[in-house]
Structure 1
């Protein structure tokens, strides 16, 4: 009789222990469901991007870039009396003509491209000739600055004997922004950074999901 009573009390303890565990688990689940949300956590639909654009690196070759430059220059100079073109080889080779004494004289300039931190390019003059005329480099670049038609984002500096190409200031109809990342002509390694504003694609703000 005493043994049966102890056995019965033992099963009661097991029952109440199991019941307590189940009640505790239920309380924890309820707390997790109904516990107030931390106000510092913003719902997904309210998250906004810290940037308003995306950037892509585009790699190309001298041949492709050369074709693009000269296609642009052809369109830009189609109503001009004086034509010139660019040839990319081990350096930037500008070939054209300038008006001198009521005639035109062929001009050739070899330039070294130096990429700037902001993505623009300085074309540093390496050698320059104006027909058979023997003139100082500075004087020839003064003629270039005066007579050579260039886009407004290109400026010729006779004092420094260089041409500044503000690639980042180019006006592109798509509203994209271009900058030069790398221009190693000898290794045929050319890279450009293309920045695409979201508004250009009709996206006001990019939604970001927090981890």
Structure 2
């Protein structure tokens, strides 16, 4: 083969390679454009309209009896202020309320053991197990009436003497940043305590799209 024919053969080979690569690039570009602009079926991707209807995100927080005990008593101490009637909580195998009550012109020691019962809405009922005021023998209902009268409680805590229980509306607590707390699990014997914390998007400065 002459040098001229050999050069033509090499040139033709390079042309074929060039056009082949050009065709591949064109196919790739067309495929990318189709992926970008092709209408998407609703079944292939989640509907973002459903996601924007959510007003917040929910997290589960797990803690221990000691941590919760310290938090509750710090809250009680702050809320009581200069009150003459003080009490505290001790989380043991149950909820132990310890304090004093004015009975017959004197203050007598109060001891109440309560069983925590988690409600479906995330609130808590503390069901009375045993109760005493010093050495006095008084009906349980009467003691809880004294508690309701003399022990300062937050607005979201209600003492029900007739049912011998305390209703703790955890979900109605007034927290900063509009956070919402709900009880998920309280197993004091197993030291298994879990709470759900709901964080509104607007708290984080996130504006959700309206329909």
TM-score, normalised on structure 2? 0.77
2:159 to 152, 156, 160: 156
Following superposition, the deviation at residue 205 of structure 1 comes to 1.4
Q: Which residue of 1 aligns with 2:78?
A: 75
**Count of aligned positions:** 178
Q: Give SS of 1:123's match.
A: strand
Structure-2 change in CA distance of 1:104 and 1:53 (3 Å): same
Q: Which residue of 1 aligns with 2:136?
A: 133
Name segments (4+ residues, structure 1) moved above 3 Å. 29-41
Q: Which residue of 2 aligns with 1:113?
A: 116
Deviation per CA, 1:134-172: give whole Å up to 9, x if none: 001011111111111100100000111000000000000
Deviation per CA, 1:28-82: give whole Å up to 9, x if none: x5995898847979xxxx8562311000000000000000000000000122111
Q: Give SS of 1:203's match.
A: coil
Consecutive unaligned residues of structure 2, counting only runs of 5 or more, are 1-22
Deviation per CA, 1:100-150: give whole Å up to 9, x if none: 222211100000000000000100000000111100101111111111110
Structure-2 change in CA distance of 1:142 and 1:35 (3 Å): closer
Map 1:1-211 onto structure 2 (within 5 A): 32=34, 37=39, 49-205=52-208
What RMSD, in angstroms, separates the aligned Cα atoms of the two structures? 2.7
Consecutive unaligned residues of structure 1, counting only runs of 5 or more, are 1-21, 207-211
Structure-2 change in CA distance of 1:117 and 1:33 (3 Å): closer
TM-score, normalised on structure 1? 0.77
Q: Which residue of 2 aligns with 1:14?
A: none
CA distance in 2, matches of 1:147, 1:106: 13
